[in-house]
Amino acid sequence: MLYIIGAVNSIPLDTLSHGAATLGVTLSPYMLDAFEKYASLLIAWNKKINLTAIVVPQHIVEKHFLDSLSLLTLLPQGPASIIDIGTGAGFPGIPLAIVRPDLAVTLVEATAKKAYFLKAIKTALGLRNVTIVIDRAETLAHQPRLRETFDVAVGRAVAELATLAELTLPFVRINGMVVAQKNLGSESIERATVAIETLGGIYEKEVAVPLPALADRRLIVIRKKTPTLAMYPRRVGVPAKKPIGN
């Protein structure tokens, strides 16, 4: 008997385009094609190197692509620079770069193997607005060309909020912002307040994501108000081991 199950790697493009529309962006055929290529390369490379536990096409669309695009509602309208710390297989940075060619996206990833995947994606998708850096945030944040230069810093599933603040706020210009993606009730903001304020930031707001599949998600916005002291971030590993204020 013959079962026709469709192309193994095809992703639900209707879910993707409807979700994106709800988040305020119309995906062009070119962008949809880029997401399809991204998904199939993710699935193929994931068999060789550990990139993600999420491999079901529907889940790739919801938990990787749309979850990344949920940040769109908070990003500046015009050209802006964004740094994605601990991007892994490119989330949230690559989906944002696909739909916003006017964003200059810097992807930071400590693991070289994952960075090779990011380079393959950048080439396959022709993403000229993406820069890939293989290093630790603790080291990079002390480089003058990167320190306090970005409009926005993000980092998904990298660390608890106090640690994430130390890995992201040093990169952000005054009046720029950090946006952290967290599950509702997963962390208390209070536990990170000392860290945020020590690093020159202030907790601004928390917003929900207007998609049923992402009903538990919250976007936490931290605004940069004053320069970060030169001693931050501390040495590699210290922000995670000993979060400020904890």
Q: For the CB of residue 55, give the shortest distance to ligand SAH in the complex, in Å.
A: 13
Decide if residue 87 touches ligand SAH (CB under 6 A): yes
Cβ-based nearer residue to ligand SAH, 201 or 239: 239
Cβ-contact 221, 204 below 8 angstroms: yes
CB-nearer residue toward ligand SAH: 139 or 188: 139
Least distance in Å: CB of 29 to ligand SAH? 26
Segment lying near ligand SAH (by CB under 6 A), choices 9-17, 109-117, 122-130, 222-230 = 109-117
Task: Tell me the closest approach of the beta carbon of residue 195 to ligand SAH, in angstroms.
Answer: 15
Confirm or reject binding of residue 151 to ligand SAH (CB under 6 A): no
114 binds ligand SAH (CB under 6 A): yes
Q: Cα dist. 226→172, 194, 213, 230 in Å?
A: 10, 14, 37, 12
Q: Which candidate, 182, 234, 233, places its Cα nearest to that of 203?
A: 182
Q: Which is nearer to ligand SAH, 89 or 130 (CB)?
A: 89
- Minimum CB distance to ligand SAH smaller for 124 or for 236: 236
What per-residue string of b and e applies to 55-83 under the rule 16 or more CB within 10 Å gives b? Answer: eebeebbbbbbbbbbbbbbebeeeebbbb
> Quick check: 91 binds ligand SAH (CB under 6 A)?
yes
Query: Is 95 or 200 the residue whose CB approaches ligand SAH more closely?
Result: 95
Q: Are strands 172-183 and 150-154 parallel, antiparallel or unpaired?
A: parallel
Q: Is 170 in the site for ligand SAH (CB under 6 A)?
A: no
232 binds ligand SAH, rule: CB under 6 A = no
Q: Decide whether 59 or 225 has the Cβ nearer to ligand SAH.
A: 59
Number of helices followed by number of strands (H, E) in the chain? 10, 7
Measuring CA to CA, which residue among 126, 139, 127 is closest to residue 85? 139
- For 90, phi then psi, to 5°, come to 110, 20
Report, in angstroms and rounded to the nearest whole number, the Rg of the chain calculated over CA atoms. Answer: 18
Instruction: Determine whether 204 is exposed, middle or buried from the number of CB atoms within 10 Å of its CB (0-12, 13-18, 19+).
Output: middle
Residue 223 dihedral angles phi and psi, to the nearest 5°: -100, 135
Q: Is residue 97 near ligand SAH by the rule CB under 6 A?
A: no
Distance CA 104, CA 108 (A): 13
Binding mask 47-86 for ligand SAH (x = CB under 6 A): --------------------------------------xx
CB of 117 to ligand SAH, least distance (A): 10
**Of 157, 202, 215, 229, the one binding ligand SAH by CB under 6 A:** 157
Task: Give the SS3 label for residue 175.
Answer: strand
Binding site for ligand SAH (CB under 6 A): 85-89, 91, 108-111, 114, 136-138, 156-158, 167
